[in-house]
Structure 1
């Protein structure tokens, strides 16, 4: 896609990867609307020059209001990015984990579907546009400490594949962004020395998004080991390595 002349709505862009991509799209010349739950951060971003809109992807009314606000102010919207997500450790030996599982599915999977459903009629009416879903390397190579997160992202991957097939012929591209671990905070960088530096990750992503046609999957080099672990015969070994993090759960040491 031409990243220099788009009108982009990013749901879940008040921090981390979403915010960095919002800034990159804006720097390239695109108009960007940032959506998120935290009104304090939205206020800061409005002062930075972004159009902003409150959105809670777990609340259908909130999603519908955000859609109406975005399309009223930006009727030429042509790109929707579904960035909202949560990562919650779970101990599957403890039934109390189910609340975290529900929240994760509601945000990561159902939230993605709610946003897509809200904007798809508009994009179909335009006859052109791009939907960017956001999964994770963990959707292809599970991190056992966060089982429902892995399941939710695997679900978004499958949904993206089906969405692409169903929208074939409408002029709408569906691209799946598959991040590896990215150092979105100093704490994450310290706890995971293998996490990619945020700016470098965003640079690679924007380069991949800028190709034509937009790739079905946005795979930076750092996520290839996750994406192709089964094909490469490294899956079992890598899952075993990642299972060592289970020792951080209370009572597991």
Structure 2
């Protein structure tokens, strides 16, 4: 059964996202303006724009989210922890970190957990010092993982006391051996698998390729409690007509 939601409720689940390498200040200003207008959960920006976004959102109900180890997850745990601490000090309320994907593929989930825990601990400590609750979301990059690896990565995130598990960066580029490009974003299958694994102990963020009301509804019904998308305005404006 589909969950009926109002336009305001769906807006409150959206991380309004702009993570392109070429985003300019005017683009971040527009992002923040739209987020304030629609009361999105957060804006998600690259770390260099955290302080700038915070300046534009102070005194509003919109949080500032940023990404760490993005999009490859290949930084060392200490580098990710330092980057997360720095982001929180600059004003980030939410940290979306990419797991050590190579460790997951090597079946070394102890290292995956250690990597996540380093970011969680650094983020929470920095938040406490700023008297601010910081949320940590763990990006699995599901397009590169088997179902078993998705489950094990979820367990690692849970053990590390992260707040969310998240599907994707939207920047993954998986391919068949012949070069055929494979899907890289959120899927109902992966969200449902993540929900089955973590239950009510964590929340789930779906991200990557969410551009329509129908896709948003399907992912929410599968278990997503937050949506990362650059199409938030389109989704909210279309909600009453299509939901």
Whose radius of gyration is greater, 1 or 2? 1
More helix by share: 1
Would the TM-score normalized by the shorter structure come out above 0.5? no
TM-score range, shorter chain: 0.3 to 0.5
What is the TM-score with the length of structure 1 in the denominator?
Answer: 0.40
What is the TM-score with the length of structure 2 in the denominator?
Answer: 0.41
